[in-house]
Chains A and B, each alone.
Chain A
Amino acid sequence: MAKRKERIDRGIKVRSEDIFALLSWKEMLYLAFPRLIPIVGLLIAPLFLNIYWQRVLISVCVFSLLAISWDILAQSGMISLGQSLFFGIGAYISGVLNHYFHISPYITICLATLLGALLCTLLLLPVLRLRGIYFSMVTLVIPLMLVRIIEATKIFGGTEGLSGLDSFGSPWIEVYMIVVILLICLFGFRRMMDSDYGLVLRAINDDDRSVINAGINIYLFKSQALFISGAIGAFTGAFVTHVYMFVGMPVFALDYSILPIAAAVVGGPGNLAGATFGAFILVPLSELLRGIGGLRIVLYGIFLVVFIVALPEGIFHFIKRKYFQFERWVEV
């Protein structure tokens, strides 16, 4: 007798999609629980972590933000291979402002976020008309070019970089700053992508000509998405600069481009929470594997491949489905 799996939405999901008809505290908790985990977890986690794992947590949050930044672009139809462009530009702006003009880190970060986003948008504005792989190639090339420019002209410290930058003063400020910003970005931009504005962005990804056909200037929307994504990336770059008190050519490294993509793909692309979730798996995993030395990257690679093959939808979507649906076997 053939059997097939039947999936039924839990009643609570059906009712809560648009209208809120919550019948009990239990149902309220059922909806709030997935949102409370990251909020409460992230806010109390630093209290229980030693200084090393606090650093790891910072790194996790940094890559989460980069993954969010990547995913916003990807949801708007722009596959970027150059998150390190945003990251590096933000890092260098805040580094230069702090090193040459001695501006406080708190101000350099704000300036770097805005100026960095503006600069990234302007840099990529000419290629916004490119679609698919052509856009990706340009985003991949620009950071590589910037590295060579810095190397060749020896500006901003050249290959040495700028060191001895101001830090935030306390590791607690660092970790709580990035955690709070991550939570704000995660929930804020998730809300944005679910709004009608975000819907237009996602529609551009689906069919850009059809969006033009609604009398909408897609290049305006795309450049806005680019600005938002650039701002997140530039902020992370500026933040990391002041945590390490150093900025140099490694900020344009491929790690900052590829790891966020891996995080988004493992976690579940098309969903900011998925991207964050992916970073929370991959970065600590990479730290845990550090103990085994040379084969680390191989194991890491195998892990990635297994996950992408076994769960192409992403871990987050998988968990979400399990959470909101009953599954049972029925006879056909």
Chain B
Amino acid sequence: MVSKGTLLEVVDLCKSFGGIQAVNLISFTLQEGELLGIIGPNGSGKTTLINLITGFVKPTSGKIAYRGMNITGWPAYRIIRLGIARTFQMVRPFYHLPAYKNMIVPLYSPRVKRLKGGRYGDRDAIALDLLEEVGFERDSFVAYKVASALPQGYLKRLELAKAIALEPDLIILDELFSGLSLAEVASIVPIIEKLRQQGKTIIMIEHRLKELFRIVDRVIVLNFGMKIAEGLPSEIMDNEEVKRAYLGTEV
């Protein structure tokens, strides 16, 4: 992938909750079109980092720049309107609404309105198209089911579809694969590859390293809120410090 410039720049980002340093002086840059993986043991600050970038949590110090614009401390909805979409690790669908009605909310957002012009046709139809893209079979009832009746695999897909509906430039996937079977992961990987072909930049947080390392360009490893390693997947796999962080002792 040819790099087209810096999309996201994070400089010395810090966040402390009380006395705990959840994110400690993390810096990295993200090139347009890149697929960045962020890994690390439980509680290493991965999700907090995402919450900081998307504005759900305000940083204690540090700077976040998107396309050269300083977005530090912006409210989440404004950051998301810029074109950063995320999924939640614990899925957050609208449980009372049918799956396809879940899609109406992102489709109603000002960003989509701006991109597509005022009236752009039937939202329900667009919603069903998007759901089909992530694997809701069109000729079944599954897209019409209430979200609370859907199995975990579909909820994860719904979460992904909601992010895609925003037509973002940067998609942040927070443990999309967790809780999915190998077959389900295998069916979602092509969707991610298709997004890359469309030129989207993607950040993936993942515990399923095997699946992740196959598709990412670059990996950042976090431990105790700090960045302990960064590099190509092959380099990370051989890194002694990473092994120690994951396994606790010498291998």
Interface residues of chain A, those whose CB is within 8 Å of chain B, are 18, 196-197, 199-200, 202-203, 205-207, 209-218
Decide: A206 and B77 in contact? CB cutoff 8 A.
no
Is B104 on the interface with A (CB-CB < 8 A)?
yes
Q: Number of contact residues on B: which range applies?
A: 20 to 34
A-B contact count (CB 8 A): 77
Decide: A216 and B101 in contact? CB cutoff 8 A.
no
Decide: A215 and B77 in contact? CB cutoff 8 A.
yes
Residues of chain B within 8 A of A209, CB atoms compared: 56, 88, 92
Residues of chain A within 8 A of B110, CB atoms compared: 215-216
- Per-residue contact bits, chain B 72-116, to A (CB 8 Å; 1 contact, 0 not): 000111101100011010001111110001101111111100000
Is B205 on the interface with A (CB-CB < 8 A)?
no
Additional A-B contact list (10), CB under 8 Å, known A214-B165, A215-B80: A199-B104, A202-B94, A203-B102, A206-B95, A206-B97, A212-B56, A213-B80, A214-B105, A214-B108, A215-B77
Decide: A216 and B86 in contact? CB cutoff 8 A.
no
Distance of A216 Cα from B110 Cα, bound (Å): 7
Residues of chain B within 8 A of A214, CB atoms compared: 80, 105-106, 108-109, 162, 165-166
Decide: B77 and A203 in contact? CB cutoff 8 A.
no
Residues of chain A within 8 A of B56, CB atoms compared: 209, 212
- Per-residue contact bits, chain B 52-78, to A (CB 8 Å; 1 contact, 0 not): 001010000000000000000001111
Task: Tell me the dominant secondary structure on chain A's binding face.
Answer: helix
Decide: B76 and A211 in contact? CB cutoff 8 A.
no
What's the minimum C-beta distance from A211 to chain B, rounded to whole angstroms?
Answer: 6
Residues of chain B within 8 A of A216, CB atoms compared: 77, 105, 108-110
In the complex with contacts A210-B88, A214-B162, A215-B166, A203-B76 CB distance below 8 A: no
What's the minimum C-beta distance from B198 to chain A, rounded to whole angstroms?
Answer: 19
Q: Among the listed B75, B105, B111, which residue makes an inter-chain contact with A211, where contact means beta carbons less than 8 Å apart?
A: B105
Is B196 on the interface with A (CB-CB < 8 A)?
no
Q: Among the listed B78, B93, B124, which residue makes an inter-chain contact with A210, where contact means beta carbons less than 8 Å apart?
A: B93
What's the minimum C-beta distance from A71 to chain B, rounded to whole angstroms?
Answer: 15
Distance of A218 Cα from B75 Cα, bound (Å): 11
Distance of A211 Cα from B93 Cα, bound (Å): 10
What's the minimum C-beta distance from B33 to chain A, rounded to whole angstroms?
Answer: 22
What's the minimum C-beta distance from A313 to chain B, rounded to whole angstroms?
Answer: 13
Decide: A200 and B77 in contact? CB cutoff 8 A.
no
Is B207 on the interface with A (CB-CB < 8 A)?
no
- Per-residue contact bits, chain B 19-54, to A (CB 8 Å; 1 contact, 0 not): 000000000000000000000000000000000001
Is B123 on the interface with A (CB-CB < 8 A)?
yes
Q: Among the listed B54, B77, B104, B162, which residue makes an inter-chain contact with A217, where contact means beta carbons less than 8 Å apart?
A: B77
Decide: A215 and B81 in contact? CB cutoff 8 A.
yes
Residues of chain A within 8 A of B77, CB atoms compared: 212, 215-218
Distance of A211 Cα from B95 Cα, bound (Å): 13
What's the minimum C-beta distance from A32 to chain B, rounded to whole angstroms?
Answer: 24
Decide: B108 and A210 in contact? CB cutoff 8 A.
no
Decide: A212 and B80 in contact? CB cutoff 8 A.
yes
Residues of chain A within 8 A of B108, CB atoms compared: 196-197, 199-200, 214, 216
Distance of A212 Cα from B95 Cα, bound (Å): 16
